[in-house]
């Protein structure tokens, strides 16, 4: 008895699409022993889902052309001539591919975590380098500030010393000038008295010497 007699497809055993029947040896199978096998035993494992089009049938196949699960009747009627596989095989194949994708993604995640760790490490190194550079600059700035402060203090001390010396000299010069002013004022008073005298001989005798002294004191007074 041919399996196509159950489906009336005229396509022989194509319904199995190359899948062997578990628990049945392909050798020594006669018509009588074949007739004793029920149809569900010849079909792929069911996932317990019913077909929406054929409610009595379970979804046991997958149509590659339409990319959808189908039942036995769908395979014979609506999907005749389409490439079909056992739903269990499609499930296992897609589950395996999904598992491989998950494993690859996990490997990529580990790689990315490693890259994140490297980035964090480099960030810490950069932060440390920045802190070291800032500390070095601050130390140089403090040293430079200290040198500038010391130089400023030295320059200020020198300027103050020069100021004191200059003021001292000016003070001395001022006292000298004040003394000469007093002297000149005394001589001027003497010269004025002599100028106003009516004794001609006194003017003749004293005026030249007094004039010379007054002129000489003036020259000294303005020479400093």
Residues 6+ apart with CB under 8 A from 206: 194
What is the SS3 assignment for 75-136? HHCCCCCCCEEEHHHHHHHHHHHHHHHHHHHHHHHHHHHHHHHHHHHHHHHHHHHHHHHHHH
Tens place of pLDDT per residue across the chain (224 aa): 223 333 333 333 333 333 333 333 333 344 444 344 344 444 566 567 899 999 889 999 999 999 999 999 999 999 999 999 998 999 899 999 999 999 999 999 999 999 999 999 999 999 999 999 999 999 999 999 999 999 999 999 999 999 999 999 999 988 988 888 888 888 889 888 888 888 888 888 888 888 888 787 666 555 44
Overall pTM > 0.75: no
Closest CA to 54 of 40, 71, 67: 71
Backbone angles phi, psi at 69, to 5 degrees: -70, 145
Residues 6+ apart with CB under 8 A from 31: 1
Burial 141-160 (b: 16+ CB within 10 A, else e): eeeeeeeeeeeeeeeeeeee
For position 207, what pLDDT does the model report? 85
Closest CA to 71 of 83, 93, 87, 82: 87
Dihedral class, residue 58 (left if φ above 0, else alpha if ψ from -120 to 50, else beta): beta
């Amino acid at each position: 008895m041919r399996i196509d007699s159950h489906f009336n497809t005229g396509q022989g055993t194509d319904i199995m699409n190359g899948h062997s029947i578990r628990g049945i040896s392909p050798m020594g199978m006669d018509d009588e022993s074949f007739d004793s096998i029920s149809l569900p035993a010849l079909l792929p494992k069911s996932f317990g889902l019913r077909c929406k089009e054929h409610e009595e049938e379970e979804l046991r196949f997958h149509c590659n052309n339409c990319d959808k699960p189908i039942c036995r009747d769908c395979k014979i009627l609506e999907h005749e001539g389409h490439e079909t596989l056992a739903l269990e095989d499609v499930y296992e194949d897609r589950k395996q591919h999904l598992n491989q994708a998950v494993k690859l993604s996990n490997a990529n995640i580990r790689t990315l975590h490693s890259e994140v760790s490297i980035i964090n490490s480099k960030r810490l190194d950069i932060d440390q380098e920045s802190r070291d550079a800032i500390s070095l600059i601050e130390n140089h700035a403090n040293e430079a500030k200290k040198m500038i402060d010391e130089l400023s203090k030295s320059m200020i001390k020198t300027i103050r010393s020069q100021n004191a010396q200059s003021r001292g000299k000016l003070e001395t010069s001022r006292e000298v000038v004040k003394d000469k002013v007093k002297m000149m004022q005394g001589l001027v008073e003497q010269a004025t008295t002599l100028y106003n005298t009516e004794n001609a001989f006194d003017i003749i005798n004293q005026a030249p010497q007094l004039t010379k002294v007054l002129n000489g004191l003036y020259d000294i007074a303005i020479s400093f």
